[in-house]
Structure 1
């Protein structure tokens, strides 16, 4: 059994990596021309898509790291985040300010999640 499964692998990185019961997503960013709320929504949509492809979902997120280009956007990002996180399933989370890969990016979200138990039974 392969103990590491990579998804969306390119030269520099994989979009997602699964090791045992844990799924690691690469940082997700939104559309550069959008504001922080729309960039956050896009990031979270991408997170959901990747988790689904890795047989998990947002209720199984263990940890999230959010990077903002400017902490002045904290409240606006949080409004989108709070509406997205399922009640009772908030992960451990950190949020900080960082210079992102391109100046027009305002938010980047990294996620670590647990796999669904039935996937482990199938030996995936």
Structure 2
């Protein structure tokens, strides 16, 4: 069974299938990459909870940065957010994001609790 949560014409915010939650890409508000990353991860927390998952159940994360020069600043926020011993498989690359003010987008796949 496939469970779609907050489905619109273009995408669902969460899709669950076979005990795995796939979150749509999350962006955040803020003037710099650290603020945007914090806001983005707060949104990820809310979606993980809604999906029946949590940070310590993340399987894979893909992070897109508008500028790889922001890598260290993003990682400083990320490193404080990820539970010790529960780091997911992760990739990070540079990409042109949907709007010019966006500096980071995070895509999460996580195991559901049930």
Give the TM bin, normalised by the shorter chain: over 0.9
Q: Give 1:95 shift.
A: 0.1
> In 1, distance between residues paired with 2:70 and 2:42?
19
TM, length-normalised to structure 2? 0.98
Partner of 1:62: 59
Residue 3 of structure 2 aligns to a residue whose secondary structure is: strand
Deviations for 1:16-53, whole angstroms, at most 9, x for unmatched residues? 1000111000000011x421001000110011100100
TM, length-normalised to structure 1? 0.90
Q: What are structure 1's unaligned runs of at least 5 residues? A: 120-124
> In 2, distance between residues paired with 1:60 and 1:30?
22
2:47 aligned with 1:28, yes or no?
no
> In 2, distance between residues paired with 1:34 and 1:15?
24
Q: Give 1:74 shift.
A: 0.1
Larger Rg: 1
Out of 34, 49, 73, the position equivalent to 1:76 is 73
- How many residues are aligned here? 114
Residue 23 of structure 2 aligns to a residue whose secondary structure is: strand
